Chain A
Amino acid sequence: MKSIYQILLIGSLLAGIAACENETKVCDQTLSTNLHINFKRDSAGIVRDTIMPKVTAFALGHDSIYKVQPLSNVFFQLSPVADTSRFYLKVDSTLTPDTLTFRYKRTTHFISAGCGFGTYFLLDTVIATRHTIDSVQINIKSVTTSNDTHLTLYFFNQ
């Protein structure tokens, strides 16, 4: 009988331990899903990833995301309240900047109890000026995680 009481006590401790995880207090996922863009350029007949020497980028009318820095990838946050976002992209200080226009559909997504809600995007159209950009390739239309490479920009050899 004594051992039964001991087991009852252990059970009450188990009940306490099981109750310790409060999922509304923890947000272990990123709230924003960024559009991931990769740079490529033709080099001696082979198209390969390239580092653009002085990248400056920002959404039109907003602060800089990147300011004169060498990059081979950029991540753009699309607007959660509009169906179009426009970005300025200059890949070298001596080159003419380009403008990228993204048109997309938005869907609200529940991330987790701790994080709340976020937005998923489905790319519809990408329009780019052709000063330094040779072509644009959409790899993945659905922007649900920043881990995927959604877009590849091919640059002219200058």
Chain B
Amino acid sequence: MKTSFSKWSWTALRMLLGGILLYSSLYKIHSPAAFAHQIYNFKLLPVWAINPVAITLPWLQFISGGALILGLGTQGASALILLMMLTFQSAVASALLRGLNISCGCFESGGNPATWLSFGRDFLILLLAAVVFLRERKRATL
């Protein structure tokens, strides 16, 4: 019984992470120009790289999130998600440390600025990604 319960909770965690990624990819897929603007605001990538990243990254989120939900290729998907979250958190931290006013420019109002509070919230997602990734790796070697 116990093993079956923990198996289900692992599945739930994996699907939760997949759901978050999938959900957050939707508006970026819908409005690639707004997402490109967001990337530009971080002032980290060379200008030639901004649009290709804005075009590809949302789909990477969508596909790896979907893979976690469906339970397909979960090792690769969780590794990609962990990598994306690490990159994203580093970018936000660097922007906050540089004192940039990161406003996405995705809505007329310019959206909400990134703060250490939003950084903390996203850190929880990073932790979730790390836990799921380690679990999937372990499962593969069993």
A complexed with B: no
Interface positions of B (Cβ within 8 A of A): none
Interface positions of A (Cβ within 8 A of B): none
